Structure 1
Amino acid sequence: MAYNVLTNCPVCSKKLKITKLQCTHCNTTIENEFELSKLASLSKEQLHFVEVFLTCRGNIKEVEKELGISYPTVRGKLSDIIESLGYVQKKKSEVDEKKIVNMLESGEITAEEAIKLLKDE
């Protein structure tokens, strides 16, 4: 039975390093210091959300339907995951407001979507 890789120490909660890999077929063992991907540090819930987001090809409306959650909740979960991966999110600026208004005027988004985007600031 295989277990999920632990990324944090169960005693002190600090980040763990992988130091040993072994082939299940020929038992070759490699010992060194290996790094995990940033995605490995996400929780099961966050990884599930990422999988749904990717299978929906980033379409937030599809993610809403698939998970039965609201647009602001989808945006919030995305923000949490982005921060968990170590990326700093930029604050929205007036330029973004103008972009939202332009998208509304050109029919790319509905008035409701524009309101949600503007309230998210």
Structure 2
Amino acid sequence: MPQVIGRCPVCDNELNVTRLHCAACDTKIEGRFRLSRFQRLTSEQLTFLEVFVKNRGIIKDVEAELGISYPTVRARLDDVLRGLGFPTGGDDDPRPSPRLMQAQAREERRRILEHLREKRITADEAARQLASQPER
């Protein structure tokens, strides 16, 4: 079954659902129903969002999985935020704020230690990765 589209393919305005149908009992409900914010995203935005969530927002992992640079990840994230109707901060500077950088560094250290605990990396590899992290 095809995915529901949230934007008009002709004029790019938001679409409304006007009919719901239950395949099990054949009940039909007609009216005007709004799509969720997520259904307004393009397929490319949804794919990016899935990768971003799967990687728990760790930009380095998103970069690796998609084979794109940090500024591209940020640009795509801003595009998703705009698609969801959220502000992007109005700042065209692709660099993260110091607070965001600290949060990302903490998350990366947590990920390294988790991999060590799960024996996915050796202690030497964990030490090397932790030492290579920039001080923030």
| TM-score, scaled to structure 1 | 0.72
- The match for 1:86 is 85
Matched residue pairs, number?
103
Residues 61-106 of structure 1: CA deviation (Å, up to 9, x unaligned): 11011111111110110011111211122245xxx86x36x94xxx
- The match for 2:55 is 56
1:16-27 residue pairs with structure 2 within 5 A?
16-27=15-26
Q: Percent identity?
A: 43
CA positional deviation for 1:11: 4.2
- The match for 2:130 is none
Q: Which runs of 5+ in 2 are unaligned?
A: 107-132
Give the 3-state SS of the residue equivalent to 1:36 in structure 2: coil
| TM-score, scaled to structure 2 | 0.65
Residues 14-69 of structure 1: CA deviation (Å, up to 9, x unaligned): 32210110011111111121111111111111100000001101111110111111
Q: Which amino acid aligns with 2:63?
A: E
Alpha-carbon distance in 1 for matches of 2:81, 2:40: 12
Moved >4 Å (runs of 4+): none
Alpha-carbon distance in 1 for matches of 2:15, 2:90: 32
Give the 3-state SS of the residue equivalent to 1:32 in structure 2: strand
Q: Which amino acid aligns with 2:50?
A: E
- The match for 1:119 is none
Does the C-alpha gap of structure 1 residues 10 and 71 become closer, same or farther in structure 2, counting only changes over 3 Å?
closer
Does the C-alpha gap of structure 1 residues 79 and 20 become closer, same or farther in structure 2, counting only changes over 3 Å?
same
Alpha-carbon distance in 1 for matches of 2:29, 2:21: 6
Does the C-alpha gap of structure 1 residues 45 and 9 become closer, same or farther in structure 2, counting only changes over 3 Å?
closer
Does the C-alpha gap of structure 1 residues 63 and 23 become closer, same or farther in structure 2, counting only changes over 3 Å?
same
